[in-house]
Amino acid sequence: MSKILFVMTGADRLTLADGTQHPTGFWAEEAVAPYEAFKAAGHEIVVATPGGVVPPVDKASLEAEVNGGQDNADRIAAALDAMAELRRPVRLEDVTLGDYAAVFYPGGHGPMEDLAVDAGSGRLLTEALAAGTPLGVVCHGPAALLAARSSDGGNAFAGYRVAAFTNAEEIQGGLADQVKWLLQDRLTEAGVLVEAAEPWAPHVVTDRTLVTGQNPASSAPLAAELLKRLG
């Protein structure tokens, strides 16, 4: 059995362009689907957050309409309740990369608030690239890539092909005209090559040790791809 590190947001609010606070957190399906896949394959999960705070779930991600109906929404909620690791996170600042076989970042808008500017997370990602540690990042999780710096001061992921939550999806989700910045645009400005597919359809991009997914529907196929890299 090997350990997989889940790096998760500690932010329960996203500061919008007008200064107001939008409730957020991590997106439930993006934690549950990979967690279940990794546990079924026999891996241990450790959750890390900035400061070791309990990661907050985005309540919107528990609604029936985003989970294909109430039955699946109830299943996702029950699965979250059963994930004891969420209630005892370690401090991201204290993580030793060598303890883990892979690193996974779920999304939700929370990472845009904290992980996008978290130096500890940025260092961990840069170390993972250098060490060849498999990295899985989904939906808004790629916001964390913005904090990863190379030795020359540029973005450590510049030139990498990725999938991430797209401008089209942000527009359709209703927040595009309220957020301070759009993830697809900011990644592109950093030199990261965003490969956008149809909104809301599963889409996974692999480039070297990095496996990324565009949206919640991409979380299960991303997990399957990451597991292949763990043998």
Q: What is the mean pLDDT of residues 82-89?
A: 97
Summary mean pLDDT of the chain:
97
**From the centroid of its chain, how far is CA 8?**
7
Over residues 161-220, the pLDDT tens digits come to 999 999 999 999 999 999 999 999 999 999 999 999 999 999 999 999 999 999 999 999
pLDDT band at 84 (very low <50, low <70, confident <90, very high): very high
Contact (CB, 8 A) for 146 and 113: no
- The pLDDT value recorded for residue 101 is 97
State phi, psi for 158 to the nearest 5 degrees.
Answer: -55, 130
Residues 107-145 pLDDT 10s: 999 999 999 999 999 999 999 999 999 999 999 999 999
pLDDT at position 17 is 97
Secondary structure, 3-state, the chain:
CCEEEEECCCCCEEECCCCCEEECCECHHHHHHHHHHHHHCCCEEEEEEHHHCCCCECHHHHCHHHCCCHHHHHHHHHHHHHCHHHHCCEEHHHCCHHHCCEEEECCCCHHHHCHHHCHHHHHHHHHHHHHCCCEEEECCHHHHHHHCECCCCCECCCCCEECCCCHHHHHHHCCCCCCCCCHHHHHHHCCCEECCCCCCCCCEEEECCEEEECCHHHHHHHHHHHHHHCC
* Adjacent-strand bridge partners of 104: 6, 136
Comparing CA positions, the residue from 107, 108, 180, 120 lying closest to residue 148 is 120
Q: Is the pLDDT of residue 150 over 90?
A: yes
Provide the pLDDT confidence category of residue 155 given band limits of 50, 70 and 90: very high
Other beta carbons less than 10 A from residue 134's beta carbon: 22
